[in-house]
């Protein structure tokens, strides 16, 4: 068996995808113009698939902070957090995030992926039990491959499914760690967090929640689902990323656990990689200030979500179950999804396409992510374009507005 033979199935699927002309996994952003526009294939394109929920990538105050930091401290730290890579600014950022959540401790990582990978695989060790939602992000699944703990999946967003698995553990020794996400990245649905927390309390399990897609978007001050559902104090570990709402890169984990800092010398994805460059730390610190100072961005985001979601729903598209900064559009199969995606790109609109095996339940999706600084005109135009393509491809019906394609 050759090195690449094991990927034969994937190669074939990938080849199918590429027969449509463009390769969705090798799109080139020839020039990014703003949080909502870029040049792709030589044409000005509306961006509705960038996770840039507040549009902060071009926020002048964040850009200035980054530029200033480069001038003051250089382009990179060239070292790990536990060696030469912890600057005053890293520490200050950690303190600011901890304060933002009202938690005692915070660790900043170089990416959110590494935060999940390291924290989850280290928190639950030999003899412990890790219980994860079936639709968890790849970083959580990869953590499960690294841990010595026993890993069990429960049904997506189903507290009774979690409860059955905790109950089955009975009085077996070991810590139980339950891993949830605030907003799920494919369909934009939120976890029933209060119900989950109740179950976890009943069975004495720790709660870790990844607020990657909900930071900024949910909660009165933008702390995520843990805030909007009023259970921050019951979430023992909150993980998040700087690569979405905060417009940069990096990850974090906050906690009140008095011994949390021991993780700084045990979590390998924290110890054995270089720390964030000063420019990123500076722009993230500023972005966090913007999130606090401009709650109107959150309102703008949700207004835009309503425009896109309700607009598409009215045309008969089958969408994720609720309003969210991620709007997932169900399509009947992989080839329709790719064809639809390509037609949109030809019409000057970029979204993400998500197809099996990267999606839950084998669904094929267009994954749209909304930005606070999209204009209503841009989003109405998008609904119009999608309606035209949807009718042409027979995904939505012309008159009855009944859903034809897609199933969950």
Ligand X SMILES: Cc1ncc(COP(=O)(O)O)c(C=O)c1O
Q: Where does this chain bind ligand X (CB under 6 A)?
A: 111-113, 116, 137, 139, 181, 185, 210, 212-213, 241, 243, 251
Q: Which is nearer to ligand X, 371 or 386 (CB)?
A: 371
- Omega prior to 106 cis, within 30 of 0: no
- Nearest approach in angstroms of CB 394 to other proteins is 25
121, 136, 139, 185: which is the annotated catalytic residue? 185
Q: Which is nearer to ligand X, 212 or 231 (CB)?
A: 212
90, 105, 137, 213: which is the annotated catalytic residue? 213
39 CB neighbour count, 10 Å cutoff: 14
- Nearest approach in angstroms of CB 70 to other proteins is 43
- Nearest approach in angstroms of CB 109 to ligand X is 8
Q: Which is nearer to other proteins, 224 or 328 (CB)?
A: 328
Partner that binds at residue 392, options other proteins, ligand X, none, CB closer than 5 to 8 Å by kind:
none
- Nearest approach in angstroms of CB 44 to other proteins is 38
d(CA 132, CA 208): 10
Q: Which is nearer to ligand X, 229 or 352 (CB)?
A: 352
Partner that binds at residue 144, options other proteins, ligand X, none, CB closer than 5 to 8 Å by kind:
other proteins
Q: Which is nearer to ligand X, 284 or 386 (CB)?
A: 284
- Nearest approach in angstroms of CB 368 to ligand X is 15
Partner that binds at residue 121, options other proteins, ligand X, none, CB closer than 5 to 8 Å by kind:
none
**Would residue 185 show up in a list of annotated catalytic residues for this protein?**
yes
**Would residue 213 show up in a list of annotated catalytic residues for this protein?**
yes
Q: Which residue's C-beta sits nearest to ligand X?
A: 112
DSSP per residue, 67-91: HHHHHHH-S---SBTTTT---HHHH
Q: For the stretch 154-182, what's the b/e string if a residue is b when 16 or more beta carbons lie within 10 angstroms of its beta carbon?
A: bebbbbebbbebbeebeeeeeebbbbbbb
Partner that binds at residue 210, options other proteins, ligand X, none, CB closer than 5 to 8 Å by kind:
ligand X
Partner that binds at residue 169, options ligand X, other proteins, none, CB closer than 5 to 8 Å by kind:
other proteins
> Under the rule (CB under 8 A), what is the footprint of other proteins?
134, 144, 150-155, 161, 164-165, 168-169, 356-357, 360-362
Q: Which is nearer to ligand X, 140 or 337 (CB)?
A: 140
244, 318, 323, 330: which is the annotated catalytic residue? 244
d(CA 408, CA 402): 16
- Nearest approach in angstroms of CB 48 to other proteins is 27
Q: Which is nearer to ligand X, 63 or 249 (CB)?
A: 249
d(CA 351, CA 315): 18
d(CA 191, CA 197): 11
Partner that binds at residue 134, options other proteins, ligand X, none, CB closer than 5 to 8 Å by kind:
other proteins
Is residue 301 within 8 Å of 370, Cβ to Cβ? yes
Partner that binds at residue 293, options ligand X, other proteins, none, CB closer than 5 to 8 Å by kind:
none
- Nearest approach in angstroms of CB 240 to ligand X is 8
Taking Cα atoms as reference points, which of 116, 111, 107, 110 lies closest to residue 139? 116
Q: Which residues are catalytic?
A: 185, 213, 244
């Amino acid at each position: 068996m050759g090195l690449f033979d094991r990927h034969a199935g994937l190669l074939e699927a990938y080849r199918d995808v590429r027969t449509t002309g463009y390769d969705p996994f090798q799109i080139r952003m020839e020039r990014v113009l703003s949080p909502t526009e870029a040049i792709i294939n030589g044409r000005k394109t509306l961006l509705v698939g960038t996770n840039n929920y507040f549009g902060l990538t071009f926020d002048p105050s964040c850009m200035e902070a980054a530029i200033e930091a480069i001038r003051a401290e250089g382009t990179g730290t060239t070292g790990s957090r536990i060696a030469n890579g912890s600057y005053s600014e890293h520490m200050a950022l950690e303190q600011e995030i901890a304060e933002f959540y009202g938690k005692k401790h915070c660790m900043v990582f170089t990416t959110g992926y590494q935060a999940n990978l390291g924290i989850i695989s280290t928190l639950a060790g030999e003899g412990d039990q890790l219980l994860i939602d079936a639709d968890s992000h790849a970083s959580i699944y990869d953590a499960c491959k690294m841990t010595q703990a026993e890993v069990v999946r429960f049904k997506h967003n189903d507290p009774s499914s979690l409860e059955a698995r905790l109950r089955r553990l009975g009085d077996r020794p070991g810590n139980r760690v339950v891993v949830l996400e605030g907003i799920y990245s494919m369909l934009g649905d939120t976890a029933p967090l209060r119900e989950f927390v109740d179950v976890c309390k009943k069975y004495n399990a720790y709660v870790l929640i990844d607020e990657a897609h909900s930071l900024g978007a949910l909660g009165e001050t933008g702390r995520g689902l843990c805030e909007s559902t009023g259970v921050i104090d019951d979430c023992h570990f909150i993980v998040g990323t700087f690569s979405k709402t905060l417009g940069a890169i990096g990850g974090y984990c906050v906690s009140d656990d008095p011994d949390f800092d021991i993780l700084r010398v045990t979590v390998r994805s924290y110890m054995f990689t270089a720390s964030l460059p000063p420019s990123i730390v500076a722009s993230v610190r500023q972005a966090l200030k913007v999130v606090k100072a401009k709650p109107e961005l959150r309102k703008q985001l949700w207004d835009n979500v309503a425009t896109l979601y309700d607009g598409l729903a009215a045309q008969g598209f089958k969408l994720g179950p609720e309003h969210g900064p991620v709007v997932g559009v169900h399509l009947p199969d992989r080839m329709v999804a790719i064809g639809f995606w390509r037609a949109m790109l030809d019409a000057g609109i970029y979204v993400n396409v998500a197809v099996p095996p990267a999606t839950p339940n084998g669904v094929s999706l267009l994954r749209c992510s909304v930005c606070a600084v999209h204009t209503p005109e841009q989003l109405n135009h998008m609904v119009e374009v999608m309606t035209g393509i949807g009718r042409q491809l027979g995904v939505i019906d012309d008159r009855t507005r009944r859903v034809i394609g897609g199933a969950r």
